[in-house]
A = this chain, B = another copy of it.
Amino acid sequence: MREALDGKPDEPIRVGVLGARGRMGAEVCRAVDGTDDLDLVAAVDEGDELSAVADAGARVVVDFTTPDAVMDNLRWCVDQGIHAVVGTTGFTGQRLDQVRDWLSDRPGVGVVIAPNFGIGAVLMMQFAARAARFFESVEIIEQHHPRKLDAPSGTATYTARAIARARAEAGLGPAPDATKDEVPGARGAEIDGVRVHAVRAAGLVAHQEVLFGTTGETLTIRHDSYDRVSFMPGVLLAVRSVVRRPGLTVGLDALLDDG
């Protein structure tokens, strides 16, 4: 394990990107390049040697590869004492346990694994969970481009579950609804008791609205995402945070409180 990896406080953090030729990886390279406090020192993809990352002195690796490749990459990073920020999907509870196990032997190394690097989306979910217990009614309206295969979106389902948990903890029963005469589907899908409506239209990208209501007032939290570059501020935040966060961190939520 190389002590040098911890760097000096005001030196740029040296960053290597795995999956650098993929769509997300390429954006990460551009985003790192555009900062003053991070240095892109290695950009590797399939066929390249991982050792290039260590040779370049990377202190943090960002991994946007594939579920097949990511575990080997992570094992190697932890062994090398290189912190890792991971956006690759496919992390089961078993995989997370495996990463924790590896990290237990390397107490100084940090790994951040996040299913969604959109800071706006993460804040929306946090705010929704927090507001939930103050409003008798809540519904979710998500809006996406018409090429999307699932309805509702994963983010909407995740939000609905977080809201349902908060309502249950607060002892709230079902939201009021006198509907007697419904054309099938009009009232949306029910996810843990929360109604979710999925709109699909050309021209849309990825949008979600959480509508809370109580006597005489409503509170709406809306997130609009137009581009995969919207994930870059979250990736950069994770790169800056992971060097101060030994062990495994799952999700951006905790990092948002780091400042």
Residue numbers of A with Cβ under 8 A of B are 118-121, 123-124, 127, 130-131, 133-139, 141, 143, 146-152, 157, 170, 175-191, 195-205, 211-233, 256, 259
* Structural contact, A199 and B191, CB atoms closer than 8 A: no
Task: Say how far A233's CB is from chain B's closest CB, in angstroms.
Answer: 5
Residues of B within 8 A of A143 (CB): 211
Give A237's nearest chain B residue, CB to CB: B134
When C-beta atoms are compared, the residue in chain B nearest to A152 turns out to be B186
**In the complex, which residues of chain B have a beta carbon less than 8 angstroms from the beta carbon of A178?**
146-149, 200
A228 nearest CB neighbor, chain B only: B216
Give the complex CA separation of A135 and B203 in angstroms.
10
What residues on B are CB-neighbors of A175 within 8 Å? 146, 200-202
Pair A196/B183 contact, Cβ less than 8 Å: yes
Q: Are A170 and B218 interface neighbours, CB within 8 A? A: no
User: Across the interface, do B133 and A202 meet the contact criterion of CB distance under 8 Å?
Assistant: no
Contact B137 A200 (CB under 8 A): yes
Q: Is the CB of A213 within 8 A of B198?
A: no
Question: Is the beta-carbon distance between B203 and A213 smaller than 8 angstroms?
Answer: yes
Partner of A189, one of B180, B183, B199: B183
Instruction: Tell me the nearest residue of chain B to A119, going by C-beta.
Output: B134
Residues of B within 8 A of A136 (CB): 202
- B218 engages A221 (CB within 8 Å): no
- Distance in angstroms between the alpha carbons of A127 and B150 in the assembled complex: 30
Q: How far is the CB of A226 from chain B (nearest CB, A)?
A: 5
A231 to B217, CA, bound (A): 9
When chains A and B are docked, how far (Å) is the Cα of A130 from the Cα of B121? 14
Chain B residue at smallest Cβ distance from A203: B213
For A230, give its contact among B127, B216, B220 (CB under 8 Å).
B216
* Contact of A123 with B215 at beta-carbon distance under 8 Å, contacts A185-B187, A197-B141 already known: no
CB <8 Å contact, B190 and A185:
yes
